[in-house]
Amino acid sequence: MSLIGKEVQPFAAKAYHNGEFIDVSEQNFKGKWSVVCFYPADFTFVCPTELEDLQNEYATLKDLGVEVYSVSTDTHFTHKAWHDHSDAISKIEYVMIGDPSQKISRIFDVLNEEEGLADRGTFIIDPDGVIQTVEINADGIGRDASTLVNKIKAAQYVRNNPGEVCPAKWQEGSATLKPSLDLVGKI
């Protein structure tokens, strides 16, 4: 069942953020745009490359009013240890949520039940706490965080401009479409 257009279900979790342990819930996703990035496990191979890449886009995302959350089924303690010992992960300034109960991974339907680990899932959530985009990758396929910037700009544009939609490869400032009977079969 698709999660698009659904509000994030309630959860409570511990996270590591800027040298502290904090509490996080679905309420953190309200009032601003959010990116939630699930990954299989700390101290692995592809995961640190993805999270470092996400950090490289973090300032741009913050400028767009977006907060970033990474999530794995590790604990918040493990996130701190990884942050303390990995050159790539020590750069991270966004929230790293622990999901050892696997509840959040189940809510977002990214839990690989056989392994007890999250799949590589990326979610863009609007300020109402509603999921607007979902991307799920197989374990061996790393994500490119730069693609998030255009997706968020498109999602924000559509939210702020009812009746307009963004076509494929849309870039900020380029033409949008106004769906109507006149466009059917003419694109």
Question: What's the maximum distance between 2 C-alpha atoms anywhere in the chain?
Answer: 59
**From CA 67, how far away is CA 136, in angstroms rounded?**
20
Q: Let me know: does 52 contact 91? Beta carbons within 8 Å.
A: yes
Return the number of other C-beta atoms located less than 10 Å from residue 39's C-beta. Answer: 28
Q: Select from 97, 145, 104, 152 the least CA-distant residue to 126.
A: 152
Q: Using alpha carbons, list the distances in angstroms from residue 23 to 69, 97, 106.
A: 12, 9, 19
Q: Let me know: does 155 contact 133? Beta carbons within 8 Å.
A: yes
Return the number of other C-beta atoms located less than 10 Å from residue 3's C-beta. Answer: 19
**Whether 47 is catalytic:** yes
**How long, in residues, is the chain?**
187
Q: Annotated catalytic residue: which of 47, 117, 125, 148?
A: 47
Report, as residue numbers or ranges, the catalytic residues.
47
